[in-house]
Structure 1
């Protein structure tokens, strides 16, 4: 690939409308191995979007082996040229401003999360760093069509634990402080880029939401203080109990600023969408599900009113609030059906005219497919897939399953079975998600594809504490690290063993972050269940984990204490739930992997468990990546890691 242009591919989804196997697939029993470079190298294309003026197509693609931003005329994507020149870990977050010439992207230093905002003038080609401050993390807070030359940025420049709000003038490059942080974990900003309030953690792990009334009401009250309430001053606009903290937040405002949209699980099991009159507090319920949380709200780009709500079920369920938007989604689905494409559909409407949308389709059994939808005539034009090389291989499809845990709670998850294999007595890998306040979803999952392609059943469990299934299920995970959250994983194994699908004597456990912790727990607490364990960036000692972390994570401390445990009052429990406390019980091989610049789970967490394993003479391997943080981003490092994973599993599991 040259740095001048990126060739685009034909539509694989339209090549065989009969639904037969795609080119390159093999009959059962002779599935070709997918190279690590295809699964874990750079994607071919990623995150396409239309420029606000509708003239350009932008996307991420490799340039000299590093992900950078490319741009092309929207009707001539084959003429793409690269416009950024990162030579480090690659760009993953970018956007084009509404001045129609300024591109911004974020970049840190070897995974240390010290994000800086970089700007590129697409007319002159000039590139500069807008936040050149050492040891300062920048967060892009807001930008929109009504303020095309202003970008609101959060910077912890004055106090490392708090981000103040700054306005970045795209014309002059000047930074002006807009609001000093009174203790907020996050800010609430309206479409006029006015700071309207924020959220603060309460000592018990709950949340206080502070919200100003509309501007005209403030003027009538003749307030002289800064235009946002203080957490220690006036009472909060909304007091969120501990059990509702994860499922309740303000997600935006209507264009006039008088109405805000609130996701809240207060008074219900799952998060619901409300329209709230800010001045009176009157709420109108717009969408709800008795069991499943709201996953995403799709807003009208002009009015900023909700048009559809996605609920997080085994597969997404979309509930429409706007008939015309529903018709457009229906047209897109109709076009995809003609091409025999079934998947989760997501739209991005960055074109100000509203005519051109970018569409992403996640089939779960192939690469992510990208299209451009022209609303004026209902046509759907294929762009490319995220990894064209994958189109040559037979991939597996994530399949939902559920089971009853030992206490009768229903737990959901997904299994990705080896394609073409008889589902009987297979080796399996329990692949645990991070967070843990997250979940597995129906998606293209590179790890699941690797494991299935190599002959393992990949088991992904949304154990208690996972999001999406309502607050009752989520809060069942409170202070259950290494306890009920872990036994849900064991019960999933038992369920699949009882069904005959997997071999009880050949089960591994692996994961990243919380998933890495769960892998270490599996090795230390239940070495009779698992054959081997793989830990990527997982804490080994909950006490040292809770005491560490970047300063700007300090406002999360009360939440962590409420959900994991309080070191002051529950020190013994936290130590007992730490894999390090039971290292003597480990008797299975362990692979420990760590990024040296991790600010969430510091290197000490890996070093102390590795030292303990070495002191006891226990079988282990240790990989330390000096240029990574929390997880692995560089393609070369990812390929090194997954080569080690494959070898480790083949040695101890196959």
Structure 2
């Protein structure tokens, strides 16, 4: 490991009051040039920070213009001194977490390699906050990966498929639990073991007994594995619980893994007193809420702890000093319900200093210092990390993810609702560029998944870039999207190219009726499932869309099931057998529907200008989805542009490719529906 001195660009911790540096500019200055594409699509300069358990130290992953790779730094908040403790010659810092107040664990990554060029697993490493006692704990793809070979000692490293857990654990010793993900010889994932690992000497415990093929583990507040979720035969899943230091597992509930049907709850976390917090449907409601679950009686609490009107619960517990202080949760934006009066008062003070942003407070686990981490953002302001001093009431800026973005030049984003043709209410995100907001050229941007939530109220590079070029952006949460209740989600089953597609078109027509969009200048765009919806939209609603941009999009539903000898897909046989027939369609029973809704079989119907882009190393939507459709559509449509990034996977990891792609998108849109 190499050590660096104080990184002046990292922290501005000179007792700067928040309001003086964090209020938006007046916007009076005339803007003559467009924000550069790179400002939107370069890698973030600061991607995260984590307080140590005591709150005396801050771990940060940082970029430096004099070093080609991201480094791991530790800041002593009492003195502002910075020590770089993770600094590889040939890789970036990946995930990282505090093992204790004195020690950290981290993995390696390389943000300058795309999926097709990656040859290594992340490995696992540990080091003290002062840069001593560095040790490699797990190898990368069968070979040691170290900056200092002397750290290996004479022992054997853990295998490459050893990973950090995404839970903190007890943080009171040199030991942590890690995941050992087991794969079959053909590469199919089988199950995950958990191992207790001493990060000083590399010794591990015998894997904890499993009640089945575990895919997820949950640690209690003391850092002990107490709950596991298994994948069962037939597409099912089960949740098992064991008493503290017990050996026997007891089944608590079961459910369908791919649809989410059945089961009393989904586990979220254990509280300081051992209470299990779970997510479960609200009685008589369409949405889920946060409940407590009595593992002895097998009963949910009568009333939810947090219920969100119109939204499924999504969030986490905020625990400090062995006390549940509050709950983070997502509605249109992230926010916090505080149970602790002191934290509620602190939130009010921070919000007064930062009146234009959502401000999420994260206290340390066992505070011995006045620092609280603040994550601030809005629809026009990319995420910034700050420290709040509870003694002085001052905010200090740690850093920003995209410091070149000027909030006064960004567009406002709002959640709207419209009715589909069959009467269902569809949420959607509307971003309107600055200036007159009527009869604009519009991009209907379709999220991937499709069984995910598409957006939330925050700064988003794709929509903001398009808005900066003068385009209105509509992002429908079409049926099949999650987070807005079971009715919307379930209504999307087996509706690829049918009602899901109608929801998107109905959103575009709503925007026309509202005066937001010019009916003669609408383009549909999206990636993955959004790419599929782009192709189907151009075919099915040819009168509505003047052009389309799709990247890494599905072009043939049947190809998702069968594949070819020339490529591998990361869809498992289990998902193809039990998930896809229910969610997308059965190859035999729904054969005619799948034919009618596969763009490849209807490519000759697509006449509008089209921009297509694919990754040569994509294993989610392999390259033949793109090449076959391109060959077919070109027979009747000469106005089709093709881009292939040979080294990329399912999306663009490399900034140079993101910048190149969106530059091509800008030129394509300007040519066909543009304002200039």
TM-score tier by shorter-chain length is 0.7 to 0.9
- SS, match of residue 652 in structure 2: coil
Give me the whole-angstrom Cα distance separating, in 1, the residues matched to 2:50 and 2:263.
Answer: 30
2:127 to 121, 124, 130: 121
- The aligned counterpart of 1:263 is 279
Is residue 623 of structure 2 the alignment partner of residue 579 of structure 1?
no
Check whether the contact 2:440–2:471 (CA below 8 A) recurs between aligned residues: yes
- The aligned counterpart of 1:464 is 479
**CA-to-aligned-CA distance 1:598-639 (integer Å, 9 cap, x gap):** 332223322322232345554322222233222212211211
**CA-to-aligned-CA distance 1:162-182 (integer Å, 9 cap, x gap):** 232132331222454334582
- SS, match of residue 279 in structure 1: coil
Residue 208 of structure 1: how far off its partner (Å): 3.5
Give me the whole-angstrom Cα distance separating, in 2, the residues matched to 1:181 and 1:77.
Answer: 48
- SS, match of residue 516 in structure 1: helix
Give me the whole-angstrom Cα distance separating, in 2, the residues matched to 1:149 and 1:526.
Answer: 60
- SS, match of residue 123 in structure 2: strand
CA 1:293–1:51 in 2, change beyond 3 Å: closer, same or farther? Answer: same
- The aligned counterpart of 1:48 is 49
1:641 to 661, 664, 667: 661
Check whether the contact 2:101–2:171 (CA below 8 A) recurs between aligned residues: no
Count of aligned pairs: 627
Give me the whole-angstrom Cα distance separating, in 2, the residues matched to 1:583 and 1:526.
Answer: 14
Check whether the contact 2:69–2:87 (CA below 8 A) recurs between aligned residues: no
Residue 493 of structure 1: how far off its partner (Å): 0.8
Matches within 5 A, 1:499-578: 499-547=514-562, 553-554=572-573, 556-557=575-576, 558-578=578-598
Give me the whole-angstrom Cα distance separating, in 2, the residues matched to 1:606 and 1:164.
Answer: 34
Check whether the contact 2:96–2:104 (CA below 8 A) recurs between aligned residues: no
CA 1:198–1:31 in 2, change beyond 3 Å: closer, same or farther? Answer: farther
1:430 to 444, 452, 471: 444
Matches within 5 A, 1:332-351: 332-336=350-354, 341-350=355-364
- The aligned counterpart of 2:98 is 96
Question: Structure 1: where are the runs of 5+ without partners?
Answer: 219-225, 230-234
- The aligned counterpart of 2:348 is 330
1:286 to 305, 320, 324: 305
Residue 244 of structure 1: how far off its partner (Å): 4.2
Check whether the contact 1:161–1:552 (CA below 8 A) recurs between aligned residues: no
1:310 to 325, 329, 345: 329
- SS, match of residue 406 in structure 2: helix
CA 1:646–1:631 in 2, change beyond 3 Å: closer, same or farther? Answer: same
**CA-to-aligned-CA distance 1:502-558 (integer Å, 9 cap, x gap):** 111111122222222222222333233222222222221222224567668555443
- SS, match of residue 115 in structure 2: coil
Give me the whole-angstrom Cα distance separating, in 2, the residues matched to 1:48 and 1:575.
Answer: 49
CA 1:633–1:551 in 2, change beyond 3 Å: closer, same or farther? Answer: closer
Give me the whole-angstrom Cα distance separating, in 2, the residues matched to 1:297 and 1:432.
Answer: 28
Residue 466 of structure 1: how far off its partner (Å): 1.6
Give me the whole-angstrom Cα distance separating, in 2, the residues matched to 1:37 and 1:246.
Answer: 46
Check whether the contact 1:287–1:309 (CA below 8 A) recurs between aligned residues: no
1:182 to 206, 212, 215: 212
- The aligned counterpart of 2:149 is none
Bigger CA drift: 477-486 or 597-606?
597-606
CA 1:131–1:294 in 2, change beyond 3 Å: closer, same or farther? Answer: farther
Is residue 19 of structure 2 the alignment partner of residue 14 of structure 1?
yes
Residue 82 of structure 1: how far off its partner (Å): 7.0
Give me the whole-angstrom Cα distance separating, in 2, the residues matched to 1:392 and 1:272.
Answer: 34
Check whether the contact 2:557–2:598 (CA below 8 A) recurs between aligned residues: yes
**CA-to-aligned-CA distance 1:22-44 (integer Å, 9 cap, x gap):** 5xx644xx453010121111222
Is residue 190 of structure 2 the alignment partner of residue 157 of structure 1?
no
Give me the whole-angstrom Cα distance separating, in 1, the residues matched to 2:429 and 2:260.
Answer: 26
Give me the whole-angstrom Cα distance separating, in 2, the residues matched to 1:493 and 1:562.
Answer: 28
Give me the whole-angstrom Cα distance separating, in 2, the residues matched to 1:254 and 1:418.
Answer: 44
- The aligned counterpart of 2:148 is none
Question: Structure 2: where are the runs of 5+ without partners?
Answer: 143-158
Check whether the contact 1:106–1:118 (CA below 8 A) recurs between aligned residues: yes
- The aligned counterpart of 2:615 is 595
Residue 441 of structure 1: how far off its partner (Å): 0.5
Give me the whole-angstrom Cα distance separating, in 2, the residues matched to 1:311 and 1:130.
Answer: 36
- The aligned counterpart of 2:173 is 148
1:403 to 412, 418, 422: 418
Is residue 605 of structure 2 the alignment partner of residue 605 of structure 1?
no
CA 1:415–1:31 in 2, change beyond 3 Å: closer, same or farther? Answer: farther
- The aligned counterpart of 1:223 is none
Matches within 5 A, 1:373-412: 373-391=388-406, 394-412=409-427
- SS, match of residue 289 in structure 1: coil
- The aligned counterpart of 2:147 is none
- The aligned counterpart of 1:74 is 77
Residue 427 of structure 1: how far off its partner (Å): 0.7
**CA-to-aligned-CA distance 1:401-427 (integer Å, 9 cap, x gap):** 22111111111222211112x112211
- The aligned counterpart of 1:222 is none
Residue 102 of structure 1: how far off its partner (Å): 2.6
CA 1:615–1:187 in 2, change beyond 3 Å: closer, same or farther? Answer: farther
Give me the whole-angstrom Cα distance separating, in 2, the residues matched to 1:287 and 1:263.
Answer: 10
Structure 1 length-normalised TM: 0.86
Give me the whole-angstrom Cα distance separating, in 2, the residues matched to 1:100 and 1:554.
Answer: 45
Give me the whole-angstrom Cα distance separating, in 1, the residues matched to 2:433 and 2:560.
Answer: 36
**CA-to-aligned-CA distance 1:429-457 (integer Å, 9 cap, x gap):** 11112222222110101111111111111
CA 1:247–1:489 in 2, change beyond 3 Å: closer, same or farther? Answer: farther
- The aligned counterpart of 2:337 is 319
Check whether the contact 2:40–2:461 (CA below 8 A) recurs between aligned residues: yes
Is residue 270 of structure 2 the alignment partner of residue 253 of structure 1?
yes
- SS, match of residue 389 in structure 1: coil
Structure 2 length-normalised TM: 0.83
Residue 297 of structure 1: how far off its partner (Å): 2.6
Give me the whole-angstrom Cα distance separating, in 1, the residues matched to 2:270 and 2:29.
Answer: 51
Check whether the contact 2:94–2:122 (CA below 8 A) recurs between aligned residues: no
Residue 66 of structure 1: how far off its partner (Å): 4.3
1:214 to 243, 263, 267: 243
CA 1:383–1:202 in 2, change beyond 3 Å: closer, same or farther? Answer: same
Please provide the CA RMSD for this pair.
3.3
- SS, match of residue 412 in structure 2: coil
Check whether the contact 2:432–2:472 (CA below 8 A) recurs between aligned residues: yes
- SS, match of residue 589 in structure 2: coil
Residue 78 of structure 1: how far off its partner (Å): 7.4
Give me the whole-angstrom Cα distance separating, in 1, the residues matched to 2:562 and 2:397.
Answer: 49
- SS, match of residue 409 in structure 2: coil
CA 1:533–1:245 in 2, change beyond 3 Å: closer, same or farther? Answer: farther
- The aligned counterpart of 2:145 is none
